[in-house]
Chain A
Amino acid sequence: MPGSQTELAVETRALVKVFGQNRAVDGVDLEMPCGTVYGLLGPNGAGKTTTIRMLSTLLQPDGGTARVLGYDVVRQADAVRSRMSLTGQFASADEDLTGQENLVMLARLWGFSRMQARSRAEELLHAFHLEDAARRQVKNYSGGMRRRLDIAASIIITPELLFLDEPTAGLDPRSRNQVWSIVRALLAEGTTVLLTTQYLEEADQLCERIAVIDRGRVIAEGTGGELKESVGKGTLLVRLRRPEHRPRAQEILQRVLSDVTLHQLLDPAALSARLNHTERVAEALAALQQAGIAVTEFSLGRPSLDEVFLALTGQPAEEKTTEGEINH
């Protein structure tokens, strides 16, 4: 577009929200480009929901500014509302009504006629595989069905920007994959998505860029790859046949690999080493073999976001994904 600067979906400057003594959001600067999926990653209480509620005009900031699609969230709240949609962390459907009635109600509120609202509801129920449950009260829905209904309710009018607050919290892997595919489909249709998550894997899978937030501040920002680079070249994981060999194996790895940080994992026979260069790995394995230490499994991978979090905050992320964290 001639004359316009780079399009930003979200732009915040020193955004602050204080609850009593608690600085829930404490000077957040974000720049999120249009046409991407952007992740806000942080543990419980980091301020993710509070940030999203300010961006979606539900909460008034106590300091700083926020613009959504170029509009100020306080002074141009109505313009923001007509262009974005929010799927909150907790279900927002009316539990007493059916899924279909919930969607019809919202479609009417967006201005569809009674007939149009019904057909829009049917269309969405079909696309989100909720047809069978369409005429059941939402209170009888499973967690995954509620989530899908909530997301469907957010895209009655395809929004330019969709906020998804922990869209997969508490979902089983299958439902989680459904949500992920919805996010990807939305992106393909040109909707920009800002999602929050505590799941490191999720941010890595879905988001082009990630802001890591902790105690109301952004402590790192970049692509998943960049964040990983910032904590070293990769991770070596070794699992030994006999746990009692671990101290000796640790010594050997420390000596051969020199410049490394070693961690003893919960598994008493496993060790992980954060590497700054990867050339000596083969040598290290050979040294273990020479010392008579049997290795049952090893892998070399880029660092996980889990390790990024550990390195940035000095604490592990509170919630971990149940799968896919050791197999790097």
Chain B
Amino acid sequence: MIETRQTTVPVPQDIQEDLQSALFLSTRPPRPSPLASSMVFGWRALLKIKYVPEQMFDVTIFPVMFTLMFTYLFGGALAGSTSDYLQFLLPGILVQTVVFLTVYTGFGLNTDITKGIFDRVRTLPIWRPSALVGALLGDAMRYTIASIIVIGLGLLLGYRPPGGPAGVLLAVLLMLTFAFSMSWIWTMLGLILRTPNSVMGVSMTILFPLTFASNIFVDPQTMPPWLASFVDVNPITILVTAMRGLINGNAAGSEILLALLVSGGFLAIFAPLTMHFYHHKK
């Protein structure tokens, strides 16, 4: 009787020994805190900048393009002179730039999902939102860079913030809070839509009317009443109003409070929805 078993190539002894010793773990570290695990994902986002520097294109070129284009295209027509217009536009263009950057959050999340990276992350015993919170922290970094570029360029072009540096700083902080909260809309879309490109498409479809039908470019008083009434309740308008106030040094507490409430609203609705879809993702 002949019985041939399939041959197994013998494994060199040293491989086995290295493996055995690597497998033998004497200590098991404690579970990381929510902040610690979120920071790890933030670190990952920063590492990505190192390897995919092209992604910094949109945080550097976009802001410059937007600021120059709108100032010189519309400035003369809308405000009589480009320097007057810049004085009005700058807080708004800051918002426009950063709000458009937030959609990359959903895009990036969806890319991670399609590539299977989140499968591993979702089997880890960590605070569940950390992957998303961490990614958003990394994004906040990008928003900050874009803000610095817009403000720096504005100063070069002759913009002067009436409220001084403190006003600008507070306005940027308010905007980062708003952007962080609003990003949860895109993370939700990133989880429910199938491809990164569809996330991009849907997000842009929402953002274009939201940013243009706002007080970023023109004073709503020049608009027909039906449009002006939409513009008045547009969250972007609420943010821009509060930021103009801070930057111009004449902010009303109620305007700032309203902007914070809108941010809180986004967070309260879309963060739980995002986590629901994250948990039940197929």
Contact = CB atoms under 8 A, between A and B. Distances in A.
Interface of A: 19, 56-60, 78, 81-82, 84-86, 88, 90-97, 101, 105-106, 108-113, 116, 123-124, 126-129, 137, 153-155, 157-158, 173-174, 177-178, 180-182, 185-186, 188-189, 191, 201, 205, 278, 298-302, 323-324, 327-328
B240 to A, nearest CB: 35
A60 B1 CA distance: 50
A95 B115 contact: yes
B62 to A, nearest CB: 22
A82 B282 CA distance: 21
B120 A96 contact: no
B206 interface: no
B117 A93 contact: yes
Contact of A92 (B6, B8, B120): B120
Contacts of B121: 109
Enumerate the 7 nearest inter-chain pairs by beta-carbon distance, A residue then B residue, closest first: A127-B22, A111-B29, A324-B6, A82-B125, A181-B11, A92-B120, A81-B125
17 contacts: A56-B123, A58-B122, A58-B281, A78-B125, A90-B116, A92-B116, A93-B117, A108-B37, A109-B32, A123-B22, A127-B22, A128-B22, A158-B24, A181-B15, A300-B2, A301-B2, A328-B3
B19 interface: yes
Given A58-B122, A189-B23, 14 more contacts: A88-B119, A94-B44, A94-B115, A96-B48, A106-B124, A110-B29, A111-B32, A113-B29, A127-B22, A128-B22, A180-B8, A185-B23, A324-B6, A327-B4
A19 B23 CA distance: 38
Nearest to A129: B15
A299 B2 contact: yes
Interface in B26-55: 28-32, 36-37, 40, 43-44, 47-48, 51-52
Contact of B120 (A106, A205, A301, A302): A106
B146 to A, nearest CB: 21
B9 interface: yes
B32 A108 contact: yes
- Interface residues of chain B: helix, strand, loop or mixed (majority): loop
Contact of B124 (A81, A93, A123): A81
A257 B151 CA distance: 92
Nearest to A94: B117
Given A101-B47, A124-B22, A109 B119 contact: no
Contact of A181 (B16, B32, B126): B16
A58 B4 contact: no
B74 to A, nearest CB: 39
A240 to B, nearest CB: 17
B21 interface: yes
Contact of A97 (B3, B9, B44): B44
B11 A177 contact: yes
B15 A81 contact: no
A256 to B, nearest CB: 17
Contact of B19 (A78, A81, A182, A299): A182
Contacts of A129: 15
B31 A111 contact: yes
Given A111-B30, A127-B18, A301-B3, A205 B51 contact: no
B156 interface: no
Given A101-B47, A157-B25, A180-B8, A109 B40 contact: yes
Q: Determine which residue in B6, B8, B31 has the highest number of CB atoms from chain A within 10 A of its CB, and name it.
A: B6
Contacts of B37: 108-109
B254 interface: no
A161 B183 CA distance: 37
Q: Determine which residue in B7, B25, B36, B120 has the highest number of CB atoms from chain A within 10 A of its CB, and name it.
A: B120
A110 to B, nearest CB: 6
A253 to B, nearest CB: 17
Nearest to A202: B6
Contacts of B11: 177-178, 181
Contact of A126 (B18, B112, B116, B122): B18
B205 interface: no
Contacts of B222: none
Interface string B102-132: 0000000000100111011111111000000
Contacts of B120: 86, 88, 92, 106, 153-154
Interface string B48-71: 100110000000000000000000
Contacts of B48: 96-97
A137 B50 CA distance: 12
Given A86-B120, A92-B116, A97-B44, A127 B4 contact: no
Contacts of B29: 110-113, 116
Nearest to B16: A185
A155 B40 contact: no
